[in-house]
Amino acid sequence: MTLAGRGAVVTGGSRGIGLAVARALAEAGAAVVVAARGPDGLEAAARALCAAGRRAWAVPCDVADPEGVRTLAREAETRLGHVDILVNNAGISHSASVQKTTLEDWQRTLTVNATGPFLCIQAFLPGMLARGWGRVVNIASVAGLGGGKYITAYSASKHAVVGLTRSVAAEVAGTGVTVNAVCPGYVDTDMTRQSVSRIAAKTGMSLADALRAALDTTGQRRLIPPEEVASAVLALCHGAGSETNGEAVVIAEAGSHR
């Protein structure tokens, strides 16, 4: 299976899940635009892909900024010619009890994690529909299918992503465009390590105990490698993924998809 001739945009693509996804898409033959807020890590990510013989470009973008997303769409079209694949991965985490979650925390988390994918879909979907082929994959979370202590804003934002996925999928059914979500548990990323550190700081637990407590909430024995999430995204982007639309693919343990 190959993605040769396809153009892809990956938000939050400078590290972690996003970088693993960008690498997987590029290795499958797609030309990739990686987007993220921080230009330093972003440029390094694109250079690494190019050094491996892939076609990749870096475009700074804050997905919470509507004008920034419109600029991303223009820049991506210029570099790629057409965008066939959109992976909405950019996101932030927030942990606090509901009583200690400020309105600013709530709004920022919902804006980045839910409004960001909405804006990107609005920007890139018309071109996909016009060409009769497209793949949108939203990186959600198992927290978007359930809930948990101290993640009120984060869980609500990921529930919104799953709802967005299913609603847009219903709109585009039968057009050649598919919209799906990937819902991983705790992944081995900087974001997870930061979350575990916050848990340890707030509870007095050791880092090891805080990690164990976090993993217990999802039934995991260990952190999921980012490449595992990338493999699930890649499967949804290939032509064989044309029959999958509106699904939330759960990765709750390394090597386990459902």
Question: What is the set of active-site residues?
Answer: 154
Here the tokens at position 41 are: 């890590």
d(CA 12, CA 9): 10
User: 2-21 b/e with 16+ CB inside 10 Å = b?
Assistant: ebeebbbbbbbbbbbbbbbb
**Contact at 8 Å (CB) between 78 and 99?**
no
Here the tokens at position 72 are: 């991303």
Q: What is the DSSP annotation of 138-176?
A: EE--GGGTS--TTBHHHHHHHHHHHHHHHHHHHHHTTTT
* φ, ψ at 175 (rounded to 5°): -100, -10
d(CA 210, CA 218): 13
Look up residue 225 and give its DSSP letter: P
Task: Give the relative orientation of helices 16-27 and 39-51 as an angle to the nearest 10 degrees.
Answer: 30
Q: Nearest 5 degrees, angle CA 129-CA 131-CA 137?
A: 55
